[in-house]
Chain A
Amino acid sequence: MSGVIKTVSLAVSVLLCVFLLSVPGASGGMAAEGRRVFVERGCGECHTTERPLRRPTFEEFLTEKGPPLWYAGSKFRKGWLKEWLTSPEPVRPMAYNSLKERNPDNHPALGSKEAEAVAEYLATLKVEGLKRGVVRPEKNVRGRIIFEKKLGCYGCHLVRKGRRIVGGLSGPSLVGAGRRLEPDWIYAFLKDKNLFVPYTSMPVYVGIITDREMRILSGYVASME
């Protein structure tokens, strides 16, 4: 008899533990709060937070008003998100999907509490199956040679060169990319851009450099200040 009681009480306490652990903790509650702020502030008018079910047509794509955020948790460093949401400095020198207009520099800003919650929420939006721990940030000479000499990536991206900021304006600035982007996401993006953006004017480099070079290049970008 006492054996049965022991088993039952053990089972009950195990269940209780599982239940307690599954109750959203402090960060879960914060993410839910962030989600509420996101909806309330109308962020969804310009940003997607769910993976699209089908590829939009080119015309539909051109009407999109802001970058997708459904993989924000894999793309951005959490610290950067929080900081940027409180004081959103332009990342893309040009207005979204425009070759004519400059970035109007008018992104809505959040107070620090709201920004923290929204950053917590965005950090939960992860891409399934994205390999982690493949790329390490590294200021390597080989990466720099690929970036500057072999492929001329600065043709469309701003970068820091000594004290100056040089490069083109059609792509997002890579100044401070190390603080902004997750190294593994950079590699995943270079490997398959269309997983993240349905159309992009950035050329496909798969097959132009080797996979190893691509990892080295990603590590280099991930070290940019």
Chain B
Amino acid sequence: MWLPWNRIIVALLLAFLFTIPASALRVKENYLFYCAPCHGLDGRGEGPNATPTQPVTPRNHRNPKEMEKLSDEDIINVIRFGGRATGISTLMPPYRNTLTEEEILELKDYLRELCQCSGPR
């Protein structure tokens, strides 16, 4: 029996793509664009801005020991208001006027995926 295989394959591919939520693509793009310059493309804190002349090193987002000390609220606040908000270095910039609230919440979830950890209860 003749079937339009190429069309079926395209349709299946499209269906697959649409099952990935748009925000999953967006949050990774945001992380790589905004956070990776310091925290590194892989999140280990080794981006090009982590030079030996800097006073502190960016947090390693893949280190559960460090990241589980932070509550979800802490993470959201430090992204919103920068290092000043959680009493760490102001090298960590404030993003409240750069990213939307939704994008900040997505980044919090993304950081939890990177560290495979949750905050203190």
- The contact sample of 7 A-B pairs, CB cut-off 8 A, is A150-B90, A151-B90, A155-B93, A164-B53, A170-B38, A203-B94, A204-B97
Contact B49 A155 (CB under 8 A): yes
Please judge, given known A-B contacts A58-B29, A156-B37, whether A169 and B49 are in contact too, CB under 8 Å.
Answer: yes
Which interface residue of A58, A170, A207 has the most chain B CB atoms within 10 A?
A170
What's the tally of chain B residues with a CB closer than 8 Å to chain A? 26
Contact A155 B91 (CB under 8 A): yes
Chain B residue nearest to A199 in the complex (CB): B33
Nearest-neighbour CB distance to chain B for A198, whole angstroms, equals 12
B105 within 8 A of A: no
The 3 closest A-B CB pairs, nearest first, are A168-B49, A170-B37, A166-B53
Chain A residue nearest to B35 in the complex (CB): A201
Please, how many angstroms separate the alpha-carbon atoms of A195 and B48 in the complex? 26
B83 within 8 A of A: yes
B114 within 8 A of A: no
B47 within 8 A of A: yes
> Which residues of B are interface residues toward A (Cβ below 8 A)?
29, 33-34, 36-38, 41, 47-51, 53-54, 83-84, 89-98
Could you say which residues of chain A place their CB within 8 Å of the CB of B51? 166-169
Sample of 5 further A-B pairs with CB below 8 A, known A168-B49, A199-B33, A206-B97? A150-B84, A150-B90, A152-B93, A155-B49, A204-B98
> Which residues of A are interface residues toward B (Cβ below 8 A)?
58, 93-94, 99-100, 149-152, 154-156, 164-170, 199, 201, 203-208
Task: Name A170's contact: one of B49, B53, B83 (CB within 8 Å).
Answer: B49
Please, how many angstroms separate the alpha-carbon atoms of A204 and B96 in the complex? 8
Contact B36 A99 (CB under 8 A): yes
Contact A168 B38 (CB under 8 A): yes
Please, how many angstroms separate the alpha-carbon atoms of A154 and B50 in the complex? 11
Could you say which residues of chain B place their CB within 8 Å of the CB of A168? 37-38, 48-51, 54
Please, how many angstroms separate the alpha-carbon atoms of A164 and B34 in the complex? 27
Contact A99 B37 (CB under 8 A): yes
Could you say which residues of chain B place their CB within 8 Å of the CB of A154? 54
Contact A170 B34 (CB under 8 A): no
Chain B residue nearest to A161 in the complex (CB): B53
Contact A201 B33 (CB under 8 A): yes
Contact B89 A152 (CB under 8 A): yes
Nearest-neighbour CB distance to chain B for A200, whole angstroms, equals 9
Could you say which residues of chain A place their CB within 8 Å of the CB of B98? 203-204
Chain B residue nearest to A168 in the complex (CB): B49
Nearest-neighbour CB distance to chain A for B10, whole angstroms, equals 21
Could you say which residues of chain A place their CB within 8 Å of the CB of B36? 99
Task: Name A99's contact: one of B29, B48, B89 (CB within 8 Å).
Answer: B48
Please, how many angstroms separate the alpha-carbon atoms of A127 and B95 in the complex? 28
Please, how many angstroms separate the alpha-carbon atoms of A166 and B29 in the complex? 28
Chain B residue nearest to A93 in the complex (CB): B48
Nearest-neighbour CB distance to chain B for A151, whole angstroms, equals 6
Please judge, given known A-B contacts A152-B83, A167-B54, A201-B34, whether A99 and B47 are in contact too, CB under 8 Å.
Answer: yes
Please, how many angstroms separate the alpha-carbon atoms of A149 and B37 in the complex? 20
Please, how many angstroms separate the alpha-carbon atoms of A155 and B34 in the complex? 13
Chain A residue nearest to B89 in the complex (CB): A152
Which interface residue of B36, B37, B92 has the most chain A CB atoms within 10 A?
B37
